Homo-oligomer: A and B are copies of this chain.
């Protein structure tokens, strides 16, 4: 398109943004209008994308980091012929694919769910990293950001990561429209303020009038021809551009225009320009991923092995068997044990340094490109990235997260390093799977199994060595459990997982010596939970005692109750969990102080079965 036509296209995107928001009676038209030229030029002159084949391996990737500007995105889809005008006007209504903020669950052209600001660029970095180091089909990644969201630290984690990895296939376009939700941003129209920051982080920077289509075109061309570093285009724009009553005014964020008809007229009325988007830069070829038979490490019963070690070794083996498995770590690979993978498969290992939000975002980006990422850090530090996990679940991203150093059992390092909320966090995530193995063979099997699941998968590992309880050929289906001890005389069931499993077995021995038969269940699948086995244990033994190295809220105790919330009779229940603030101490002292060791289990068991034998 020539200049005049491009300007016309930009006006069409504005008109359609105004129309969609008017039809919905909600939405963010003014945030869309500021970026109309930025989008028009990208769509017509720079994006290489086959809307009929969104999975095309060489398609460029576009991420709308400022997800609230969804009317602009949908207007662009219409201009590209991907959605029709009738669908455009279903915006934000029940059942429409065109949600308030775009999600890949509904729309095949959306790479990742946005709407929580500051996440699109980090995920874009993950996609660009996949493009550069894994896919190598020559695609470019374009991310449209708002200026407000540059206040998010995650943007600077992404900036650091992208520059360090020399991602010259990545272009961030910042729609600097000066106004946030509540009022002016910190830097207003001071493009230099942003340029200084990105430049310091190692980016190539371009400042441009975001409403001058030819200037924008030159900026995109400059980005495409910059090598060795990512480019950020800082575009000076006006929020609500083109409609005098809203242009550059405060107090109009997230509201339809007051008089849409008049606004549309002021914008020159509706148009129906159609863009012919450029073809992908390379032909469509299937990715060839080498596969071999999986040979997991095998451990002997009775050996002492930390589940974090078993995880690391299993992941390395999985990486050998599956060429599509990648690993990422937050600069603690010597603790999480992703170092085993890093040594075996350095080309598929990604060091993300101490930046947990970027760690998850990079995994989400790689999953969007079809890779199977395992991202690891301390269980406690995944709390740093909860919002990214939440958004990953909205995307439907298939990511494997592995948290080491769970619970008080880590010992001397103290509470800041103890994952004591991680089960609650991951259980609350939509569609998640939560696994918590207690031994090395179980860990290995679960590491392999989780690769094939959907959504967010979490595996919790432990720092210290524990006994190998299972043989290497035992199977551990997700949603299952293991009954480690049972008899017809059982008067109590202890439900444990991870480090509390050996404690529960010891407690059962203690109680057996007092003629109290105890069933022990290893609840390695915390979500989904094995309702059948738990219900049967409740019916047969009458009492359930849960014990976990986690706060009492949201963990194993609550997971067990999931089996009993369908209106059926519930057994008598007692829950042992970490209820005090731990300090520093040796691991066994910690378990004892928290009241989750064998002695505490036995004592609670005695009370529950009505025994009054002194402990």
Binding site for B on A (CB under 8 A): 24, 26-27, 67, 91-96, 98-101, 103, 105-106, 113-118, 148-149, 151-157, 160, 164, 180-182, 185-186, 196-197, 199-201, 251, 329, 331-335, 339, 351, 353-358, 380-381, 383-384, 386-387, 389-391, 393-394, 411-417, 420-421, 424-425, 427-431, 527, 543, 551-555, 557-558, 561-562, 564-575, 581, 583-586, 589, 593, 607-608
- Chain B residue at smallest Cβ distance from A580: B430
In order of increasing CB-CB distance, the 3 nearest A-B pairs are A153-B153, A115-B416, A570-B570
Asked if B384 and A380 sit within 8 Å, CB to CB, the answer is no
- Chain B residue at smallest Cβ distance from A581: B430
Residues on the B chain within 8 Å of A417, using CB: 100-101, 115
Q: Report which residue of A151, A354, A416 has the largest number of chain B beta carbons within 10 angstroms of its beta carbon.
A: A416
Asked if A148 and B94 sit within 8 Å, CB to CB, the answer is no
A334 vs B593: C-alpha distance when bound (angstroms) = 46
Asked if B573 and A570 sit within 8 Å, CB to CB, the answer is yes
A420 vs B425: C-alpha distance when bound (angstroms) = 11
Asked if B164 and A157 sit within 8 Å, CB to CB, the answer is no
Asked if B581 and A105 sit within 8 Å, CB to CB, the answer is yes
A553 vs B458: C-alpha distance when bound (angstroms) = 15
A335 vs B68: C-alpha distance when bound (angstroms) = 15
Q: Report which residue of A101, A354, A356, A593 has the largest number of chain B beta carbons within 10 angstroms of its beta carbon.
A: A354
Residues on the B chain within 8 Å of A93, using CB: 584-585
Asked if A564 and B553 sit within 8 Å, CB to CB, the answer is no
Asked if B95 and A583 sit within 8 Å, CB to CB, the answer is yes
For residue A403, give the distance in angstroms from its CB to the closest CB of chain B.
Answer: 13
Residues on the B chain within 8 Å of A421, using CB: 386, 390, 425, 428-429
A335 vs B571: C-alpha distance when bound (angstroms) = 45
Sample 9 A-B pairs with CB under 8 A, ordered by A number: A94-B583, A116-B381, A182-B334, A384-B387, A543-B567, A553-B562, A566-B574, A567-B572, A570-B573
CB < 8 Å: which of B181, B552, B558, B573 contacts A553?
B558
- Chain B residue at smallest Cβ distance from A201: B197
Asked if B428 and A551 sit within 8 Å, CB to CB, the answer is yes
A99 vs B413: C-alpha distance when bound (angstroms) = 7
For residue A23, give the distance in angstroms from its CB to the closest CB of chain B.
Answer: 12
- Chain B residue at smallest Cβ distance from A570: B570
A205 vs B182: C-alpha distance when bound (angstroms) = 32
Residues on the B chain within 8 Å of A572, using CB: 567-570
A557 vs B570: C-alpha distance when bound (angstroms) = 14
Asked if B584 and A575 sit within 8 Å, CB to CB, the answer is no
A583 vs B24: C-alpha distance when bound (angstroms) = 14
For residue A63, give the distance in angstroms from its CB to the closest CB of chain B.
Answer: 14
Residues on the B chain within 8 Å of A564, using CB: 570, 573
Asked if A153 and B152 sit within 8 Å, CB to CB, the answer is yes
Asked if B428 and A554 sit within 8 Å, CB to CB, the answer is yes
For residue A308, give the distance in angstroms from its CB to the closest CB of chain B.
Answer: 14
Asked if A353 and B151 sit within 8 Å, CB to CB, the answer is yes
Asked if A584 and B554 sit within 8 Å, CB to CB, the answer is no
Residues on the B chain within 8 Å of A554, using CB: 424, 427-428, 553-554, 558
Asked if A527 and B543 sit within 8 Å, CB to CB, the answer is no
For residue A173, give the distance in angstroms from its CB to the closest CB of chain B.
Answer: 18
For residue A601, give the distance in angstroms from its CB to the closest CB of chain B.
Answer: 14
Asked if B424 and A430 sit within 8 Å, CB to CB, the answer is no
For residue A99, give the distance in angstroms from its CB to the closest CB of chain B.
Answer: 4
Q: Report which residue of A197, A339, A431 has the largest number of chain B beta carbons within 10 angstroms of its beta carbon.
A: A197
A185 vs B354: C-alpha distance when bound (angstroms) = 9
Asked if A581 and B394 sit within 8 Å, CB to CB, the answer is yes
Check A571/B570 contact, CB under 8 A, given A180-B354, A331-B182.
yes
Asked if A394 and B416 sit within 8 Å, CB to CB, the answer is yes
A354 vs B187: C-alpha distance when bound (angstroms) = 13
- Beyond A386-B421, A394-B581, A553-B554, 7 extra complex contacts between A and B, CB < 8 Å: A151-B354, A152-B356, A153-B154, A182-B329, A185-B353, A386-B387, A430-B551
- Chain B residue at smallest Cβ distance from A557: B565
- Chain B residue at smallest Cβ distance from A149: B354
A581 vs B392: C-alpha distance when bound (angstroms) = 12
A98 vs B584: C-alpha distance when bound (angstroms) = 8
A581 vs B104: C-alpha distance when bound (angstroms) = 12
For residue A566, give the distance in angstroms from its CB to the closest CB of chain B.
Answer: 7
- Chain B residue at smallest Cβ distance from A116: B416
For residue A222, give the distance in angstroms from its CB to the closest CB of chain B.
Answer: 21
Asked if A424 and B428 sit within 8 Å, CB to CB, the answer is yes
Check A584/B94 contact, CB under 8 A, given A181-B332, A181-B335, A553-B554.
yes
CB < 8 Å: which of B153, B354, B589 contacts A157?
B153
Asked if B331 and A116 sit within 8 Å, CB to CB, the answer is no
Asked if B412 and A92 sit within 8 Å, CB to CB, the answer is yes
Check A160/B151 contact, CB under 8 A, given A99-B414, A384-B386, A420-B430.
yes
